[in-house]
Amino acid sequence: MALAADAVLRYGGYDMRSLMYDAVVIGASCGGMAALARIFSHLPAGYPLPVLVAQHLHPQQDDGFFLHLGERCPLPVKAADEKEVIAGGHIYFAPPNYHLLVEKDLTLALSVDERVQFSRPSVDVLFASAAEAYGSRLVGVVLTGANNDGADGLRMIKERGGLAVAQDPATAVADCMPRAAIAAVAVDQVLAVDEIGRLLAALGAR
């Protein structure tokens, strides 16, 4: 269901650039770092939306991957801090071994509650809290991964009127996560990672 580059800017007969969103949430697991690097390479300096990411990580993972992504992206890339105010044009990652949540006042919260889908951070936890905070003005993206994390959270985003996007499973290193999302949700777009990057860039071109 991949789209040509010029068609990525449209879905359901609407010009994506005319739609208004306030934030992007992304979930990924196995193969996610490479996919995220490609997506972030499409986001220009001055991109207005915050991007919040739950990437499954080893609990003892160091900050090398943040530095790696930050060197390849014009936007600030960082681990989220407790009570941090969400700012546009920043990419926030759930720290290793913490759930990342969005509070109603659009600050970030970290939690060491039980694992969800065997994962902490959990994609579902991030997506569910962001859906409550942002409602219809949220974009949710499920990328490559080897379990079902993200499907329930993406369904919540869609139910609240947000935009639901999944990576084309045929392009994923591990296709379980995007396949589970597509099975659970009437997703708006199923795209390869570069097309997802172009889509997110277009949504920020206000």
Residues tagged active-site: 29, 56, 149
**Locate tokens 């390849």: which residue?**
72
The two beta strands, 91-93 and 51-55, are parallel
Counting every residue, how long is the chain? 206
Q: What share of the chain is helix, strand, coil (3-state, %, to 5)?
A: 35, 25, 45
Which residues are CB-neighbours of 150 under 8 A, at least 6 positions away?
27, 123, 124, 127, 142, 177, 180, 181
Phi, psi dihedrals of residue 106, rounded to the nearest 5°: 60, 40
Q: Report the distance separating Cα 72 and Cα 39, nearest Å.
A: 10
Residue closest to 142 by CA, chosen among 125, 158, 154? 154
